[in-house]
A and B are shown apart, each in its own frame.
Chain A
Amino acid sequence: MTPFELAEPKTLKEAVGLLDADDPTVRPIAGGTALMLMMKAGVFRPSKLVSLRAIKELTSIEIVKGELTVGATTPLAVLEHSEAVRMHAPVITRALRTLSNIRVRNVATVGGALAHADPHMDLPPVLIALGARVVVQGRSGARTIPVADLFAGYFETVLAKDELIASLIVPAQDGRRAAYLKCTTRAVHDWPALGVAVSVAADGKAIKNASIVISAATETPMRMSAAEKAASGATDDAALRRAGDAAAAEAELISDGQGSAAYKKELVRVYVARALRAALGAA
């Protein structure tokens, strides 16, 4: 790694002030697990990193007016073991269990898992399916962005260089059921070739208002609206498979080290149906 400056502000406001809207070599660092990989590989050579570790106001998990609110620098392991999270959206707890490994989860943060915008990450599709949003702090105030609108491209978000994710809000799920499945093609902890997150309202046995999101196989996590339409009212395996077919037809897939676009298309077909089935049987 090449040398850089390290700033350690104590407040969110101070941290935002240390960022620079016009300088991409100045970046925030929290857990740092993803950023360290980029710096080691030489694809990111910072002039200055602004550590968010000393900011106490960003580490909390609370239920506020029925919504789960998580501070951006909360480590993923804390989220994984939080009873409040498990009660509110157990799919988050289940997804975290297979997110990287325990040491990484001890250090990596919720905000980092979103701001890094690597499409292979597990939390973004799950949070989009749950209708989550982030509160973003900038110099002139805060704004709220649905996680579904956060990603602008491969490793890119809509955040300005001097904005920080302050917190994540997951709305009440009102009995909706959700599931996240991923397919890793080499080893269990590898980046997935495909992630599928679904959330459904189930009226008796029929699916209503499905939210279907795929990740890793696409440039950013994407909602599959044709598949969502196809899943509406689905009660049997044949209907779930039709939703899988619709997703395979509409997804704009990318080839990478985890698999070719043609291979991922078949994965989408199978995993979307499988995830819907899992959600119907899930809490």
Chain B
Amino acid sequence: MRTIHFTLNDEAVSAQAAEHHSIVDVLRDRFDLFGARESCAQGLCGCCTVLVDGTAVSGCLYLAAFVDGKTVTTIEGLAQNGKLTPIQEAFLETGATQCGFCTPGFVLMAGQLLAAHPDPDDEEIRHYLSGNLCRCAAYPEIIAAVKLAAGKLRAGRL
């Protein structure tokens, strides 16, 4: 066991974590944050996506000890004062959520994509999100959501 100190969704926190625990274990067991879910457990499906120092990682393959001193952002940290981000709004407006299990991962990865490519075409969206799986197969709606979000974000920057 060790104590890890990190910034979680803009708040300085510390937690007891065993060396063999993943960041997903710690988020669920110590902070009651259930948005990052371990699904495939192999880094393939993207359901456990969290941002570490602003970069997307598969939380199921990331030891909790490695976030010591770093910044962790989960899906729960995106909305500010109860207001959803344009990407979250776009997922709702296009019906891209379906059962919702994979949605946190898709929303976080879409955020990474749009930060790097503010106006992505279908091919770029497919390439970027190819590491996220949606078992409801809401892929057409997800691509539409990312495009809608891109428009909202570009409009917000004007």
Contact = CB atoms under 8 A, between A and B. Distances in A.
Say whether A and B bind each other.
Answer: yes
Interface string A31-64: 0110011011000000001010100000000000
Interface of B: 2, 18-20, 22, 41-44, 46, 49, 55-58, 60-63, 65-66, 109, 112, 127-128, 130-131
B71 to A, nearest CB: 15
Given A3-B20, A101-B44, A188 B130 contact: yes
A106 B55 contact: yes
10 contacts: A3-B18, A5-B19, A32-B62, A101-B131, A102-B112, A103-B56, A104-B43, A106-B55, A107-B57, A188-B130
Contacts of B20: 1-4, 39
A190 B57 CA distance: 18
A181 B128 CA distance: 20
A103 B49 contact: yes
Nearest to B41: A40
Contacts of A107: 57-58, 61-62
Interface size band for A: 20 to 34
Given A188-B130, A189-B131, 5 more contacts: A53-B66, A101-B130, A102-B128, A103-B49, A107-B58
A49 B131 CA distance: 28
A56 B134 CA distance: 38
A106 B66 CA distance: 14
B62 A37 contact: no
A32 B131 contact: no
A74 to B, nearest CB: 14
A6 B19 contact: yes
A106 B53 CA distance: 11
A100 interface: yes
Interface of A: 1-6, 29, 32-33, 36-37, 39-40, 49, 51, 53, 77, 97, 100-104, 106-107, 188-189
A77 B49 CA distance: 16
Contact of B43 (A1, A2, A6, A33): A33
A10 B127 CA distance: 36
A253 to B, nearest CB: 26
B18 A103 contact: no
Contacts of A3: 18-20
A50 to B, nearest CB: 12
Contacts of A4: 19-20
A93 to B, nearest CB: 14
A209 B86 CA distance: 54
Given A33-B61, A188-B130, A101 B19 contact: no
B61 A189 contact: no
A257 to B, nearest CB: 14
Contacts of A1: 20
Contacts of B60: 36
A160 to B, nearest CB: 25
B15 to A, nearest CB: 15
